[in-house]
Amino acid sequence: MGGPTPILTRYRAAAGGALVVVAGCVLSWALAYPASDLGASLARTVTDAAAVVTLGVAAVPLLEGPRHRHELRRRAVPALVAASATWVIAELVRLTLAAAEAAGRSVTDLGAQTAVSFATDTAAGRAGLLTVLAAAVVCAVTATRPHTEWAVPVAVGAAAVGVVGHPLTGHLADSPVGGVAVAVHALAAALWCGVLAGLVLTVDHRGQWARVLPGFSRLSLACVAALLVGGLIGGVLILDAPAELYTTGYGRVLTAKVLLTGALVVLGWRNREFWLPAARTHRSTAGFSRSRAGLELALMAVALAAAATLSVTG
């Protein structure tokens, strides 16, 4: 009971998560249609998903005490390298697609000079470059210096910078308050979802769940409070009237995201009341903990897809 998780199980979890993210993206695009492009939504969703997992896996060792932290850091290395490398590639693809759209050309007709000009001369391009650099730092540090004391804080810091790059140049870029609110919202959501994904990918037995789950519970409370406040401020500043929540593509996706967030808050509270005490007293097997986390992650994946679609919906 609660023995080590086979590698195949983790691969299946990752594949299942990817399928849920893509399905959520398609549903969100359908809600936003015709105000959103499916290709742009998929590209942003994949990029954001990789960013969330990168930040979460990087931060997971901080939930462990000093005695067991090295073990969790060692186990997190393969997942963190894979997630951050995926983030680099996905962001480069997204940056290329954005440059082609801005130039009014197809990707095959996009010249190197045009792509470089977009990346250096526009706010969206510079945000993309910053994100690529942040993801590359995480990948390089994790691949070459995974067991140094400074590797974890550097990886977490770089990932956090990468996560907030695009929100600061998004719909509310012209509003200092709105830009900061959306960035806080995005960072809080990424920590909440990403750390839970990181736990599923790295925690193997119920003893570890007993040690790390209380810390995650405290972190999730802070994240939920921050994302709700930031999201409320952003929504009020973007929408001109409540009717836009169902009459516009942006509003319909935002409404779906709010409903998903509400469901996640309820589910998280139930987990705090029942799963957390059972895990803390070793009455919950590792398999049960992964199942509970998987259900929550499935809802998070759909919410993440909705958020990514929002960011590219006019």
Q: What's the pLDDT tens digit per position in 233-251?
A: 988 888 888 888 888 888 9
DSSP class of 32:
H
Banded model confidence at residue 112, pLDDT cuts 50, 70, 90: confident
C-alpha radius of gyration, the chain, whole number: 19
Residues 6+ apart with CB under 8 A from 68: 208, 211
Q: Residue 302 above 90 pLDDT?
A: yes
Residue 167 has a pLDDT of: 84
Average pLDDT, the chain: 89
DSSP class of 6:
P
| Count of beta carbons in the 10 Å neighbourhood of residue 148 | 11
Banded model confidence at residue 185, pLDDT cuts 50, 70, 90: very high
Identify which has the larger pLDDT, 102 or 190: 190
User: 28-34: which pairs have CB atoms within 8 A and are 24 or more residues apart?
Assistant: 28/253, 28/256, 28/305, 28/306, 28/308, 28/309, 28/310, 29/309, 31/249, 31/252, 31/253, 31/256, 31/309, 32/249, 32/250, 32/252, 32/253, 32/309, 32/310, 32/313, 33/249, 34/249
User: 79-82: which pairs have CB atoms within 8 A and are 24 or more residues apart?
Assistant: 79/10, 79/53, 79/198, 79/201, 79/202, 80/54, 80/138, 80/142, 80/155, 81/139, 81/142, 81/143
Residue 291 has a pLDDT of: 87
Residue 3 has a pLDDT of: 45
Banded model confidence at residue 307, pLDDT cuts 50, 70, 90: very high
Domain ranges of the chain: 7-311
Q: Residue 39 above 80 pLDDT?
A: yes
- From 225, 302, 224, 193, select the one nearest 256 (Cα to Cα): 302
Q: What angle do CA 103, 109, 115 make, to 5 degrees?
A: 50
Q: 51-88, pLDDT tens digit by residue?
A: 999 999 999 999 988 888 888 899 899 999 999 999 99
At the top level of CATH, which class does the domain 7-311 belong to? Answer: mainly alpha
Identify which has the larger pLDDT, 10 or 7: 10
Q: What is the number of helices (H) and of strands (E) in the chain? A: 12, 0
How many Å apart are CA 166 and CA 90, to the nearest integer?
Answer: 14
How many Å apart are CA 29 and CA 177, to the nearest integer?
Answer: 28
